[in-house]
Amino acid sequence: MKSFTNLYKNSENKITGIAAAPGIVIGKAYLFTKEKLNISKAPITNSDEAISNFEEALKQSKKELNKIFGIAREKMDNVRSAIFEAQLMILDDPILLGNIEKRIKAEMVQPEFIVSDEISKYQELMIISHESYMKERAQDIEDIKYRIIRNLQKKRWQSKIEKNLIVVSESLTPADTLLFSRRESLGFVTDHGGLTSHAAIISRSLNIPAVVGTHNASTLIKDGDTIIVDGFHGYIITDPTEVQLNFFTEKQKKLFEIQKGLEEFKDKPAVTLDGKEVNLEANVDVTGEIDIVITSSAKGIGLYRSEQILNELESFPDENEQTVIYSKLASRIYPKFVTIRAFDIGGDKFRFSEYKEPNPFLGLRGIRFLLENEKLFRTQIRAVLKASENKNIKFMIPMISTLDEVWRSKEIIHECKSELKKEKVKFDNQIKIGIMVEVPSAAVMAKEYAEEIDFISIGTNDLIQYLMAVDRGNDLVSNLYQEFSPVVIRTIDHIVKAAKHSKIPVSICGEMAADTLAIPLLVGLGLDSLSMSPVTILYAKRIIRDFKFKDAKALADECLKCKTEIEIQKKVKKFFDDNNISRTRNIL
């Protein structure tokens, strides 16, 4: 078969974007353009009638959204479907609705103008925040505005899409993505959006390949064009040549066979041909995923993102509520271990509205927030300790950037333990305390940190972002977000050596561990554990069982001498070819 690189060389029919949901699809494009609504500011004579029209449009919008929310709940977990619940809540916001009605009466102009103006104010506030997360949410609100105005103008959602087409659009709202999936769309391509856009999140949940952030796909692709979407690498091939069509059809078939063949690895260990075992653990983002972890053959939970509880509950659970959550989690996974990460609040994650930060990624995030809000931190520590009675919990601290933060955290944990002893509460007094190394300052001094703690988990998502000074969610600079950069590889090597020096375990829980192409290199660098999305574990196992640790180590030694990302990628790919391992990349 033709090699991947040769296939694309000099290829003018390739559009590059961000690989948002994995998979390969070949099919006809459906160019989705939303009808531009003309918003009238014409005067009205009867405000009661205008308000009644507005209320009718609101009712219809709620009806539509309720239906979409119902489909979402059927197809996705609670957290993901909550996007639509949040939209419904905006439609019930008494301040927004009251303002609109008041203005209709006062200004005596068409309600569609007032609706557009009022909702745009919301959006502007979000857009000027300069955060990709808030910008994505502003897009969601655009959907609500569009929906109400469309209903005021008594127009219906236009999409005569046939089944089995690839939707290409400037952007897609969560509702568009979901409704198209009902029409069995094969894939999604958008000009805008990053990895955290809702179109991307929903595509991943629904297992529909997607490439986002292409900038201009919707102008380059025409309705009915045959295109290939490679959601593994973030490419779209337009008007494919026969060679390209054959290559990707073959690849699709192979992929299907691989997925079918993976089941046999469930009961086998992740051990290299020369006997080195790698611990494959699962990352858990939402409660619903625990069932998958249990059946996934993961050795335990390497990262439990506890801040997700706050999203799920939409409130801050007290000590007892947290104790119940962590106890349930620990007993479900028992006798395996769960690594609970302290709330990583701030940055692109759950935020408290009282903190307005111009640059949240460099702001009050992770441990910085927790030490600033010590009472809240203590509540979580006490709950984790109370749930640790069966000795299968580890506790991990995110965003550590100074040794002081480690010392202070240990002190607080020690004080919480003393309190619980006095209260005669049983807990694991030897509970292992670790840190995430995801800030360059912690990476540089990894040796000193390793002397203070029980384990290290490398958070490559943030580590790469901070090492390369590149926003992990910004599609404009995604070419600089380089997992295989020599800087990243050498930094990981430095951290692993520091951990080994202190004889403490070291793992990776960032997305890099789920990139199957990176696995031999990471094993060769000496990582003890890799923690990844549970659905990737069998892919990883298949790869690990196909090479020798000795060879992976030689690969790592060679890569550590490289000067560029390309050189490292070449060596990694050659390793796969030399060892006859399928290079099907899987980033889930």
Kindly list the residues in this chain that would bind ligand PEP in the complex (CB under 6 A).
303, 305, 344, 438, 459-462, 509-510
What residues are annotated to the active site? Answer: 198, 509
CB of 429 vs Mg ion, minimal distance in Å: 29
Of ligand PEP, Mg ion, none, which one does residue 191 interact with (CB within 5 to 8 Å by kind)? none
Distance CA(512)–CA(19), nearest Å, equals: 14
Which H or E run includes 383?
helix 374-386
Task: Tell me if 289 contacts Mg ion by CB under 5 A.
Answer: no
CB of 520 vs Mg ion, minimal distance in Å: 24
Of ligand PEP, Mg ion, none, which one does residue 509 interact with (CB within 5 to 8 Å by kind)? ligand PEP
Distance from the Cα of residue 447 to its chain's centroid: 30
Distance CA(554)–CA(19), nearest Å, equals: 30
CB of 86 vs ligand PEP, minimal distance in Å: 21
Of Mg ion, ligand PEP, none, which one does residue 428 interact with (CB within 5 to 8 Å by kind)? none
Paired with 28 in beta bridges are 226
Please say which residue, 153 or 196, places its beta carbon nearer to ligand PEP: 196
**Which tokens is 180 given?**
């198209």
Tokens 């690498």: give the residue: 233
Q: At a CB cut-off of 8 Å and minimum separation 6, what does 209 contact?
A: 21, 22, 23, 24, 25, 186, 187, 188, 203, 229, 230, 231
CB of 533 vs Mg ion, minimal distance in Å: 15
Of Mg ion, ligand PEP, none, which one does residue 152 interact with (CB within 5 to 8 Å by kind)? none
Of Mg ion, ligand PEP, none, which one does residue 460 interact with (CB within 5 to 8 Å by kind)? ligand PEP
CB of 396 vs ligand PEP, minimal distance in Å: 10
| Amino acid code (one letter) for 202 | I
Residue of 376, 248, 400 lying closest to 310 (CA atoms): 376
Q: At a CB cut-off of 8 Å and minimum separation 6, what does 456 contact?
A: 434, 435, 436, 437, 446, 449, 450, 495, 498, 499, 504, 505, 506, 507
Which H or E run includes 226?
strand 226-230
Q: What are phi and psi of 93, to 5 degrees?
A: -70, 110
Any alpha helices (H) in 34-107, and if so which ranges? 47-75, 78-90, 94-107
Residue of 498, 534, 528, 493 lying closest to 514 (CA atoms): 534
Distance from the Cα of residue 494 to its chain's centroid: 27
Please say which residue, 355 or 361, places its beta carbon nearer to ligand PEP: 361
- 154, with CB counted inside 10 A (0-12, 13-18, 19+), is exposed
- How many of the chain's residues bind Mg ion (CB under 5 A)? 3
Please say which residue, 512 or 581, places its beta carbon nearer to Mg ion: 512
**Which tokens is 405 given?**
């933060």
Please list every residue from 449 through 508 that binds Mg ion, using CB under 5 A.
459, 462
Please say which residue, 191 or 462, places its beta carbon nearer to Mg ion: 462
Distance CA(312)–CA(411), nearest Å, equals: 30
Please say which residue, 409 or 461, places its beta carbon nearer to ligand PEP: 461
CB of 460 vs Mg ion, minimal distance in Å: 9
CB of 398 vs Mg ion, minimal distance in Å: 6
Of ligand PEP, Mg ion, none, which one does residue 234 interact with (CB within 5 to 8 Å by kind)? none
Please say which residue, 234 or 510, places its beta carbon nearer to ligand PEP: 510
Please say which residue, 34 or 341, places its beta carbon nearer to ligand PEP: 341
- Sign of the C-alpha dihedral computed for residues 156, 157, 160 and 162 taken in this order: negative
Please list every residue from 411 through 450 that binds Mg ion, using CB under 5 A.
438
Distance CA(323)–CA(384), nearest Å, equals: 6
| Site residues (vs Mg ion, CB under 5 A) | 438, 459, 462
